[in-house]
């Protein structure tokens, strides 16, 4: 890995991956349209190409000029309610935009490795830990676009010499988050009040530190598991909304109270999303280094210092 193109590098997970790539001495180009990401998240040592994934000619020109050997493709429209409200934009960005990246990578003749971000949202609801063998069954527009990305990645691996890694990300937690997911939403709202209106409190999620997510991405890129490999990137531990609020209360040193509000309840919601991460551990030697408390403290410090 020497010359790396990182799409979505101004975003939450991408900016942490950027830190690791630069620490390894890679020459890093970030492609991002700054729609959700922020310029200040892109490390100064990286080159920022401000470009929309949907601009096929622009993407091709970026690859032609770059001579990249590795691509980390994270740019996407990611917030589930936003994707449901804007299905056309979600498809254009996540499906068409991804095809533009894959086609340009293949046409370049220089790219040997490519990582692409999928999601736990491709899975059906499942009571216990879920492994990669379970058939995909997305329940929303976002999951559908990511499931399509997995098909696109399989075709790329079949039709080119590029070695492809697909990471199914569970719920990242930490500083620099750009979308109003549960943790940033709570951290934002406790600035004003200790009582928070909330939707459904029972769904359990597998929260993974964003820094561990980033090491998972690199572990897959470093590995050697055939023309295409797909792994869950999660911890295997799940917490519901009440537990997360309790953990944050401890860090905040004030009791956060949750008040369920009917209007905030999502119509379609999985009750449990829990990674079986044994494949990532055994094939790539990856281990999570941060506890849920570390991750929430990192998120808390980042939000309170802004
Ligand atoms: N955060 C999570 O918990 C999580 C979970 C599952 C999967 N993922 C996936 O991981 C990847 C990164 O997620 P994130 O949480 O860092 O999200 P993010 O929104 O912080 O980052 C996505 C980046 O993509 C950029 N982008 C969006 N549309 C673009 C376009 N048309 N052209 C160019 N750039 C564009 C945004 O500006 C942003 O910087 C995404 O593919 C997401 O679907 C994230």
Span 55-87, pLDDT tens digits: 999 999 999 999 999 999 999 999 988 999 999
**Encoding tokens for residue 41?**
């998240």
Mutation choice for ligand 1 from 51, 76, 182, 207, CB with most ligand atoms inside 8 A: 76
- Which of helix, strand or coil describes residue 164? strand
DSSP string spanning 88-104?
Answer: HHHIIIIIIHHHHHHHH
Residue 56: CB atoms within 10 Å: 16
Query: What's the alpha-carbon Rg for the chain, to the nearest Å?
Result: 19
Q: Where in the chain is the domain with CATH 3.40.50.720?
A: 3-170+209-234+276-284
Q: What is the pLDDT of residue 25?
A: 98
Q: Is 49 in the pocket of ligand 1 (CB under 6 A)?
A: no
CA–CA gap between residue 115 and residue 107 (Å, rounded): 17
Low-confidence ranges of the chain (pLDDT < 70): none
pLDDT at position 11 is 97
What is each CA distance from 197 to 83, 235, 259, in whole angstroms?
23, 28, 5
pLDDT reported for residue 57: 98
261 phi, psi to nearest 5 deg: -125, 125
Structure tokens at 86: 């804007």
Residue in 66, 64, 96 with CA at minimum distance from that of residue 6: 66
Q: 127 is written with which tokens?
A: 């009571």
- How does pLDDT run across 140-171, given as a tens digit for each residue? 999 999 999 999 999 999 999 999 999 999 99
CA atoms within 13 A on the CB side of 200: 12
Residue 208 CA to residue 293 CA, distance in Å, equals 11
Q: Is there an atom of ligand 1 within 6 Å of 33 CB?
A: yes
In the reported structure, the alpha carbon of residue 191 is separated from the centroid of ligand 1 by a whole-number distance in angstroms of 26
Q: Tell me if 119 CB under 6 Å of ligand 1.
A: yes
Say if CB 142 and CB 93 are below 8 A apart. Answer: no
Distance 171 CA to ligand 1 centre (A): 12
CB of 76 shorter than 6 A to ligand 1: yes
> Does the domain formed by 3-170+209-234+276-284 have CATH 3.40.50.20?
no
| Distance (Å, whole) CA 295 – CA 120 | 19
Question: Contact at 8 Å (CB) between 282 and 290?
Answer: no
Location of each CATH 3.90.25.10 domain in the chain: 182-204+237-275+291-304
Torsions phi, psi for 29 (to 5 deg): -115, 130
Nearest CA to ligand 1 atom 9: 117
117 lines ligand 1 (CB under 6 A): yes
User: Which of these, 219, 147, 178, lies nearest to 9 by C-alpha position?
Assistant: 178
The CATH number, out of the four listed (3.30.1360.120, 3.90.25.10, 3.30.465.10, 3.40.1830.10), of the domain defined by the range 182-204+237-275+291-304? 3.90.25.10
184/12 Cα distance (integer angstroms): 12
Task: Measure Cα distances from 146 to 78, 110, 120, 294 in Å.
Answer: 10, 25, 9, 29
Bridge pairing between strands 204-209 and 238-239: antiparallel
Write down how long the chain is.
306
Q: Is the CB of 11 under 6 A from ligand 1?
A: yes
In the chain, the DSSP E strands lie at: 3-7, 27-32, 47-50, 70-73, 113-119, 163-169, 171-173, 195-198, 204-209, 228-233, 238-239, 257-260, 272-273
Residue 178 has what pLDDT? 84
Ligand 1: does its nearest atom lie under 6 Å from the Cβ of 77?
yes
171 lines ligand 1 (CB under 6 A): yes
* Centroid of ligand 1 to alpha carbon of 4 (angstroms): 17
Distance CA(170)–CA(265), nearest Å, equals: 21
User: Rounded distance, CA 39 to CA 37, Å?
Assistant: 7
For residue 79, the ligand 1 atom closest to its alpha carbon is: 19
């Amino acid at each position: 890995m020497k010359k790396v193109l990182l799409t979505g590098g101004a975003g939450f997970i991408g900016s942490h991956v950027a830190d690791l790539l630069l620490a390894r001495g890679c020459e890093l180009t970030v492609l991002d349209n700054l729609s959700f990401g922020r310029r200040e998240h892109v490390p100064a040592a990286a080159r920022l190409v401000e470009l929309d994934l949907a601009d096929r000619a622009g993407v091709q020109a970026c690859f032609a000029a770059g001579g990249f050997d590795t691509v980390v493709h994270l740019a996407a429209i990611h917030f589930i309610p936003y994707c449901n409200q804007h299905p056309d934009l979600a498809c254009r960005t996540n499906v068409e935009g991804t095809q533009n990246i894959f086609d340009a990578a293949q046409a370049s003749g220089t790219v040997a490795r490519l990582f692409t971000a999928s999601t736990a949202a491709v899975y059906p609801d499942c009571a216990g830990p879920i492994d990669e063998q379970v058939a995909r069954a997305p329940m929303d527009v976002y999951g559908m676009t990511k499931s399509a990305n997995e098909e696109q990645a399989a075709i790329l691996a079949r039709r080119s010499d590029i070695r492809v890694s697909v990471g199914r990300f569970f719920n990242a937690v930490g500083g620099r988050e750009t979308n109003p997911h549960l943790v940033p939403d709570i951290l934002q709202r406790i600035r004003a009040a200790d009582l928070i209106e909330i939707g459904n409190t029972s769904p359990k999620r597998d929260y993974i530190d964003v820094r561990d997510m980033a090491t998972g991405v690199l572990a897959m890129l470093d590995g050697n598991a055939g023309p295409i490999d797909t792994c869950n990137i999660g911890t295997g531990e799940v917490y519901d909304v009440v537990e997360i609020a309790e953990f944050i209360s401890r860090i905040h040193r004030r009791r956060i109270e949750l008040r369920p509000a009917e209007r905030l309840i999502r119509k379609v919601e999985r009750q449990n999303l829990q990674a079986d991460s044994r494949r990532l551990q055994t094939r790539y030697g990856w281990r999570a280094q941060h506890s849920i408390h570390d991750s929430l403290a990192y998120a808390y410090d980042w939000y309170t210092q802004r």
